[in-house]
Amino acid sequence: MSSAQNNPAHPRNVQLTADGRLKHFLSINGLSRALLTEILDTAESFANMGEQAVKKVPLLRGKTIVNLFFENSTRTRATFELAAKRLSADVLNLDIKTSSAAKGETLMDTLQNIEAMHADMFVVRHADSGAAHFIASQVTPRVAIINAGDGRHAHPTQAMLDMFTIRRHKGGFEGLKVAIVGDILHSRVARSQIRALHTLGVEEVRLVAPKTLLPIGVEDLGVKLFTRMEEGIRDVDVVIMLRLQKERMSGALLPSESEFYRLYGLTTEKLAYAHPEAIVMHPGPINRGVEIESAVADGSRSVILQQVGYGIATRMAVMSMAMSGQMQERAQIQ
């Protein structure tokens, strides 16, 4: 038995049932290529649902899903809500700013009160790293937890919709070179993307950023580091731009936004260094003229808007698989 399996705190143990099925989705860490591929295959089955006359399947009929967002979000929250509704679940969006938490109620009290309403799944977004893991360790076993982003730690569903986008447009992962560009330091998305890309078998993952926006020890994740944009994206098949997270920055990490754009913004001229058939991605929201030129964001090689649509199918896959795993484990216990 591996050390990961021996360690009860390892995310693999928390996220999976005894027979290896998904019951929470907290992190890419510890998940196998087979399980990530199953998520992508399941998402594929939902991908064209938006074009159908009836945009629903009954997989989660009778289940209650609570969107528990302690941080602001537009795309993530909206796609989770649509995903739950397309699975026929009942959805409760809890506005933390106007909830009892704003009046001093503790996180655990908030969770226990929602549990008392017989909720089946919490979709959690929180500013503190590890919040989703903590919640998963505290709630009753019948509640599934989906991490919608926690601090600088992880954003696994965003990573998986990005993997879905790459597979859709590139056909697979083997032999691909992928560059992740921009604010790596503050990006939970980048951390999850790196894990997923390696697990799914890409040839090379590159990080491109100024030294001030590269985390200490990030090279231990098996990536190649570049501080010059032209070198970093040369001949790559996928360019993933990241948002400059000014709200998380403290101190003089950048001389100015205009200087960042000059050196690291993706322009038509810089994109010419990538493979001629390279695709351009961005998890959003986009800061035009800071991270990316409008001509590139709106150009023929951009798949940014497709990413948003794929987010619904990917989150439907994760939610349906986690709920199925929870129900199977509950049945075995009974």
Residues 6+ apart with CB under 8 A from 118: 64
Nearest one of 109, 152, 150 to 131, comparing CA atoms: 150
Q: Among residues 10, 42, 64, 75, which one is catalytic?
A: 75
Q: Is 285 annotated as a binding residue?
A: yes
Beta bridge partners, 90, equal 64
Rounded Cα distance, 147 and 159, in Å: 12
Q: Among residues 74, 98, 103, 140, which one is catalytic?
A: 103
**Is 155 designated active site?**
yes
**Is 75 designated active site?**
yes
Q: Is 10 annotated as a binding residue?
A: no
**Is 199 designated active site?**
no
Q: Is 306 annotated as a binding residue?
A: no
Q: Is 276 annotated as a binding residue?
A: no
Q: What is the 3-state secondary structure (H, E, C) of the chain?
A: CCHHHHCCCCHHHHHECCCCCECCECCCCCCCHHHHHHHHHHHHHHCCHHHCCCCCCCCCCCCEEEEEECCCCCHHHHHHHHHHHHCCCEEEEEEHHHCHHHHCCCHHHHHHHHHCCCCCEEEEEECCCCHHHHHHHHCCCCCEEEEEEECCCECHHHHHHHHHHHHHHHCCCECCEEEEECCCCCCHHHHHHHHHHHHHCECEEEEECCHHHCCCCHHHHCCEEECCHHHHCCCCCEEEECCCCHHHCCCCCCCCHHHHHHHHCECHHHHCCCCCCCEEECCCCCCECCCECHHHHCCCCECHHHHHHHHHHHHHHHHHHHHHHHHHHHHHHC
Nearest one of 42, 76, 44, 71 to 59, comparing CA atoms: 42
202 near 174, Cβ under 8 Å?
A: yes
Q: Among residues 23, 63, 155, 167, which one is catalytic?
A: 155
Q: Is 126 annotated as a binding residue?
A: no
Q: Is 188 annotated as a binding residue?
A: yes
Q: Is 191 annotated as a binding residue?
A: no
**Is 125 designated active site?**
yes
**Is 103 designated active site?**
yes
Q: Is 76 annotated as a binding residue?
A: yes
Q: Is 125 annotated as a binding residue?
A: yes
Q: Is 243 annotated as a binding residue?
A: yes
Q: Among residues 24, 86, 125, 167, which one is catalytic?
A: 125
Residues 6+ apart with CB under 8 A from 212: 185, 253, 254
Q: Annotated binding site, which residues?
A: 75-76, 103, 125, 155, 158, 188, 243, 284-285
Q: Annotated binding site for carbamoyl phosphate, which residues?
A: 75-76, 125, 155, 158, 284-285
Active site amino acids = 75-76, 103, 125, 155
Q: Annotated binding site for L-aspartate, which residues?
A: 103, 188, 243
